[in-house]
Amino acid sequence: MLTRRDFIKIAFLTPAALQLEAKEPALKGTPYLKEALYYRVIDAKKGTVECLLCPRGCTIPEGGSGFCRARKNIKGKLFSLGYALPCAVHIDPIEKKPFFNVYPRSLSFSVASAGCNLRCRFCQNWQISQASPEDTANQPLSPERLLSLAQQNRCRSIAYTYTEPTNFFEYMLDTAKIASGKGILNVCHSNGYINPEPLKSLCKYLDAANIDLKGFSRSFYNRLCEAELGPVLETIKTLKGSGVWVEITNLVIPGHNDDEKTIADMCRWICQNAGADVPVHFSRFFPMYRMTSISPTPVSTLEKARDIALKAGLQFAYIGNVPGHPGENTYCPACKKMVIRRSGYNILEYTLKGGACPGCGKKIGGIWAA
């Protein structure tokens, strides 16, 4: 277990402090092209390909890029542009991902390459998600070096996060493969917009996933994300069916996805299709990117959403982006005793014993330290 002093020292290190920049200066451009794993040639004469990685299924002519800006057709072959070229590298508390039922109070070595296969108008990281690896300042970092840095810095997990990890799928998969079985978890925060075949290949090495379930209607996904809801639901089912620990984040946006019936429908769906022990994080919206005219979510709306989730049978419903709110704590679903007390990303009290409630002994769903 880390001391508080160790935690603070490490949690605020930047890439420079990790001695990355001194050895390998940030680069513009994409010198480490990696051929994509999931695509097919659809016109060999013209060099046109179809990407099979996500439900968008982009047809990409020679010289063109996919919708995500992270995959490019070069001379009739599809390449991942962000391989081993993260534009963001940080050591974060795992609570920031957010994972609340996975190794609380541990550090997560977090990376992202630029790009995203959605166009959410409320994106919190749009500067790097709505960009191409060809345009961002990138930090060369091989999977081997990434793992070694994570280990040196006593991280319990590697997190593929900040942007959409599907866009740097090959980098994530190669890193996850070498990290697997080395006492370090592979976790991701994803929009869930990925095809079943690549997802299943990733699940072999993935320990936990936080999936953004951004709304629970087709029209929400169509209007605000330029995407479809169905594939995201399929991803949640596939992850659970593969034994990956799943948490869900629902950013509650006033007037767009906050009506009580929709939230109740979503919670019932999660209970029935993913399980009552899937933690749901109702996160507070703040004006951002292309939705700056909407006010922050009232805390009372988040409290209502949490009540609805608990009534629907979900065992863990959290309130996010409201530091110090009691909805950040973990309560035993059987005896209701508070077992983890939080404020923001800080753990103030932790009483679980080997993943069980100290009051009634119930095993709490999650991945816990021995």
Give me the residues that bind ligand SF4 (CB under 6 A), please.
51, 53-54, 56-58, 66-68, 71, 117, 166
Report yes or no: 2 and 154 within 8 Å, Cβ to Cβ: yes
List beta partners, residue 74. 77
Distances (CA, A) of 219 to 26, 41, 197, 283, 286: 40, 33, 26, 20, 21
- Give 117 or 129: the residue with its C-beta nearer to ligand SF4: 117
| Min CB(283)–ligand SF4 separation in Å | 25
Q: How far is the CB of 293 from ligand SF4 (least distance, A)?
A: 28
Name the residue with the smallest CB distance to ligand SF4: 66
Least distance to ligand SF4, CB of residue 342, Å: 35
Q: Choose between 71 and 342: whose C-beta lies nearer to ligand SF4.
A: 71
The smaller minimum CB distance to ligand SF4, of residues 69 and 105, is found at 69
User: Which residue, 170 or 207, has its beta carbon nearer to ligand SF4?
Assistant: 170
The Cα–Cα gap between 48 and 42 comes to 6
**CB of residue 53 to ligand SF4, shortest distance in Å:** 4
- Show the tokens assigned to 199: 């997802």
Q: How near is the Cβ of 117 to ligand SF4 at its closest, in Å?
A: 4
Task: Residue 158: name the closest of 190, 181, 186, 189 by CA.
Answer: 186
Identity of the residue, 113 or 315, whose beta carbon is nearer to ligand SF4 in the bound complex = 113
